[in-house]
């Protein structure tokens, strides 16, 4: 990486768009909680159910975990065994692929487009025999796909004949995703887990995510949690309750969601003006299909732009680059688009030699 390069590879939110939680930290009560307290702060259960019910998520069984990936790991380890097959989006979040490898689970890819999972591709994967499916309903990482309501109807028809296949929905961006939630859960599903993280909206260090789903799954996750980390910091839980109930904080989150959408669209439009196709219906990332990732990465690095190689996210899908656009705006967006167009032109290899 060249000194002074603009980092567009980290997947981070813009710190300037995160709400100011310091006033809340001063006001959040800090009682002397002891061992043996409930895993879920009662106040968080009330507020969490209000939030989830508003999006049509059944929150009857509710728990709290330390972020979406922590929740996914806990669900997988309590429900699956090494060697089991897990259907994943292709491309998929690199952290998920790494997690599956660490758990000795086998990723089985299905195709996605800007509207979410491809129904025919998912149907083939389900017919081949998988024990679980992990989907990102919006702010899909790395492509920015967002499942539409119409697509969700088709996907539920595909999933319903397999009610015992575990469905995990990773709604990691939620309040700042820039797209409505279209859940794939239906009443026919026997095993389901939905995760809503607070990290993208309130800050990565707010390691709190709500877990809702099948009562037996939620109960098993809690039981396993109790013999390990025991609980998610109740101080953090109280902070989330205060944030979700604070009008100033939630107004800040709403503004951030609109700004991320504006920046994402500005980058896609700027790329299109140079004849470069890119996708990004939601979230903080844009996906640029390329022929050869290495050449494009090198050319962009020489021009002062650091983006993420698509290889980290792909199983079988075509090459691409993931660009985090959360902090890319104004003149920078135009400059990046011009650099990307130059990097993708024939002869870019010679230009970087």
Question: Per residue of the chain (353 residues), what is the pLDDT tens digit?
Answer: 566 789 999 999 999 999 999 999 888 888 887 787 888 999 999 999 999 999 999 999 999 999 999 999 999 999 999 999 999 999 999 999 999 999 999 999 999 999 999 999 999 999 999 999 999 999 999 999 999 999 999 999 999 999 999 999 999 999 999 999 999 999 899 999 999 999 999 999 999 999 999 999 999 999 998 888 888 999 999 999 999 999 999 999 999 999 999 999 999 999 999 999 999 999 999 999 999 999 999 999 999 999 999 999 999 999 999 999 999 988 999 999 999 999 998 765 544 43
Q: Phi, psi (5° rounding) for residue 27? A: -100, -15
Q: Phi, psi (5° rounding) for residue 5? A: -65, 145
For the whole model, what pTM was predicted? Answer: 0.94
Residue 55, CA distances (Å) to 43, 81, 179, 290 in order: 19, 32, 12, 36
Distance CA 343, CA 340 (A): 5
Domain 6-16+248-352 carries which CATH code?
3.90.1150.10
Q: Phi, psi (5° rounding) for residue 85? A: -100, 135
Exposed (0-12), middle (13-18) or buried (19+): which is 55, by Cβ within 10 Å?
A: middle
Using DSSP, state whether 193 is helix, strand or coil. strand
Domain 24-246 carries which CATH code?
3.40.640.10
Q: Backbone dihedral region of 83: left (phi > 0), alpha (psi from -120 to 50 degrees) or beta?
A: left
* Strands in 178-304 per DSSP E: 192-197, 209-213, 285-289
Q: Which residues contact 42 (CB under 8 A, 6 or more apart)?
A: none
pLDDT for 208 equals 97
* Strands in 3-54 per DSSP E: 6-8
pLDDT for 39 equals 87
pLDDT for 347 equals 62
pLDDT for 349 equals 55
Distance CA 270, CA 330 (A): 11
- Examine domains 6-16+248-352 and 24-246 and report if their fold is the same: no
Domains of the chain, by residue range, sit at 6-16+248-352, 24-246
pLDDT for 352 equals 40
Strand order in the sheet with 285-289: 6-8, 305-309, 320-324, 285-289
Exposed (0-12), middle (13-18) or buried (19+): which is 240, by Cβ within 10 Å?
A: buried
């Amino acid at each position: 990486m060249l000194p002074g390069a603009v980092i567009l590879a980290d997947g981070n939110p813009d710190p300037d768009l995160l709400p100011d939680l310091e006033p809340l930290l001063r006001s959040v009560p800090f009682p002397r909680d002891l061992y043996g307290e409930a895993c879920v702060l009662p106040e968080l259960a009330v507020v969490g159910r209000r939030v989830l019910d508003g999006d049509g998520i059944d929150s009857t069984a509710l728990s709290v975990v330390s972020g979406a990936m922590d929740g996914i790991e806990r669900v997988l380890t309590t429900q699956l065994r090494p060697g089991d097959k897990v259907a994943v989006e292709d491309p998929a979040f690199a952290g998920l692929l790494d997690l599956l490898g660490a758990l000795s689970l086998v990723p089985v890819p299905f195709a996605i487009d800007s509207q979410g999972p491809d129904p025919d591709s998912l149907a083939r994967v389900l017919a081949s025999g998988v024990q679980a499916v992990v989907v990102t309903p919006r702010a899909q990482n790395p492509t920015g796909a967002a499942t539409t309501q119409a697509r969700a109807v088709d996907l539920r028809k595909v999933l319903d004949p397999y009610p015992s296949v575990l469905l995990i929905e990773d709604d990691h961006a939620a309040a700042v995703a820039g797209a409505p939630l279209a859940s794939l859960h239906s009443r026919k599903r026997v095993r389901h887990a939905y995760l809503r993280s607070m990290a993208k909206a309130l800050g990565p260090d707010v390691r709190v995510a709500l877990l809702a789903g099948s009562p037996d799954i939620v109960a098993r996750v809690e039981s396993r949690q109790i013999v390990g980390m025991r609980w998610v910091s109740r101080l953090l839980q109280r902070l989330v309750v205060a944030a979700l109930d604070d009008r100033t904080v939630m107004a800040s989150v709403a503004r951030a969601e609109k700004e991320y959408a504006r920046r994402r669209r500005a980058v896609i439009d700027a790329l299109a003006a140079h004849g470069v196709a890119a996708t990004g219906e939601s979230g903080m990332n844009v996906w640029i299909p390329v022929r050869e990732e290495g050449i494009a990465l090198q050319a962009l690095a020489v021009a002062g732009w650091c983006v993420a190689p698509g290889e980290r996210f792909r199983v079988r899908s075509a090459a691409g680059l993931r660009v985090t656009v959360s902090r890319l705006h104004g003149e920078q967006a135009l400059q990046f688009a011009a650099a990307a167009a130059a990097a993708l032109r024939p002869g870019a290899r010679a230009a970087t030699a």
